[in-house]
Structure 1
């Protein structure tokens, strides 16, 4: 292993600090979960989550989908340097290179994360629930799998649970984010479910929630997505006796997903009526309580 120069070490420290700050500010739920990991793994988790944030925010940061595809291509090429130990001069890339080296992470899941984000560059809804789940697998389950690698967990039960929690987390987040995406005239609710429920997405985009037909059809579709998320969480928890304790920080987002699904239910599965629960003490206490019990 080659020795690092003082400048390289300073750059990596700065990059890791930047990643931790980005995750704390913009992915606070999962930042909380990283606090239950051992100190040597936290910086790696923050680098990984910051990389994911960078990909997730591309669509909102560009004026045209083509520019987003160019940015995804840039990150794909940047990974060549990350895995060669020669990352581009970018805070997240530098921290990610250090994380890849320290934890001997594989390349394929990173490529999956980038490839799956191509769906963000189209304004069309996923064709069906299976397509939406494929998107959740690529953008979220792959991330959860990498978190287990950082935590040093290879148990098959933990890997399976992480995939289920990753999909559930993504589905729940997309259901909650319907108002955000609708304002940008985008939708991730499956096209076939929208059609079957009679959901007019253009009226949704125009904010016509006072029309009971729009509200009722939206609730019907969101219910389907929420039930799929619940089934994934149930499958993950059915394996908890086979999941080693070091995997817990990667799986704790299941606790917050469960809280959000309850909030959706209380709102009649209308995401526009969700009461804020972000950064509340209840979320932190729920995670801490489950962590203390070894549950997720």
Structure 2
């Protein structure tokens, strides 16, 4: 593989699933996707890197100014902000969408749990859902069917991502599962923070798996109306299906160590689906 840009390296290391999907994009659009995904990684990591919310808000504000072309003139030379600015200039990606993603990610600084399923869905839509649709903007795809499909793929990916990162967040005493669902199942945050996969937690995980599958099915209702050029933004659906099935086989235990290992045959599955223009 040729030498990778800084953004591509970051995505390859920290968001390998999206990295693989982006490789199916035309070469002229690929770096734009890497810049967008590296930007998302920067935002998603802020809450884990700061010792208090004020410091996090300062970082988010820097990114707002960077997206607006300010940031004391430092943004152009930044390893992610610079490529992101070029992506905005070269594609249909809007700064308003980027600013909305910053606002959504800033909510991660709030230690209060997500209260209910509606708030959970809104968080998913504003983060991974929005990112999937922005990926289409980078690819130059404006058709409504593709954006509807990307929205649902993003929601499914968000639900899956929350489950996959649960062990990581549990150590940091952060929780993204709906408090209402946990209470109804008889589970508690303290139980999860202790790393226990109780029957109650497994029931909640199963619910999120089913919710994610629902959105994958909704996305695929648009298959016949989506251009093949949109595939790089929609191929995460293929990997989501693999990861959801692995969770089911693990009896919905998010702490199962086998889940941390790369899924076998995922590259082959991606290639087969891309060759058939399916997601």
The TM-score normalised by the length of structure 1 is 0.89
Supply the distance in 2 between the matched residues of 1:45 and 1:99 (Cα, whole angstroms).
8
Supply the distance in 2 between the matched residues of 1:124 and 1:169 (Cα, whole angstroms).
22
RMSD of the TM alignment (CA)?
Answer: 1.9
Q: Is the CA contact 2:242–2:263 (under 8 Å) kept in the aligned structure 1?
A: no
| Residue 246 (structure 1) aligned with residue 226 (structure 2) | no
Please state how far the C-alpha of 1:203 moved relative to its aligned partner: 2.3
SS in 1 for 2:69: helix
Match of residue 10 from structure 1? none
| Residue 91 (structure 1) aligned with residue 84 (structure 2) | no
SS in 2 for 1:228: helix
Aligned CA distance change for structure 1 residues 70 and 46 (closer, same or farther; 3 Å) = same
SS in 2 for 1:58: helix
- Bigger radius of gyration: 1
- Which structure 1 residue ranges, 4+ long, deviate > 2 Å from structure 2? 85-89, 276-281
| Residue 284 (structure 1) aligned with residue 267 (structure 2) | yes
SS in 2 for 1:142: helix
| Residue 206 (structure 1) aligned with residue 206 (structure 2) | no
Match of residue 215 from structure 1? 198
Please state how far the C-alpha of 1:118 moved relative to its aligned partner: 2.2
SS in 2 for 1:75: helix
Q: Is the CA contact 1:82–1:96 (under 8 Å) kept in the aligned structure 2?
A: no
The TM-score normalised by the length of structure 2 is 0.94
Please state how far the C-alpha of 1:206 moved relative to its aligned partner: 2.2
Q: Is the CA contact 2:153–2:219 (under 8 Å) kept in the aligned structure 1?
A: yes
Unaligned runs of 5+ in 1: 1-13
What are the equivalent positions in structure 2 for 1:177-192 lying under 5 Å apart? 177-192=165-180
Instruction: Report how many residues are paired.
Output: 276
| Residue 164 (structure 1) aligned with residue 147 (structure 2) | no
SS in 1 for 2:68: helix
Please state how far the C-alpha of 1:87 moved relative to its aligned partner: 3.5
Q: Is the CA contact 2:68–2:95 (under 8 Å) kept in the aligned structure 1?
A: no
Q: Is the CA contact 1:233–1:254 (under 8 Å) kept in the aligned structure 2?
A: yes
Please state how far the C-alpha of 1:123 moved relative to its aligned partner: 1.9
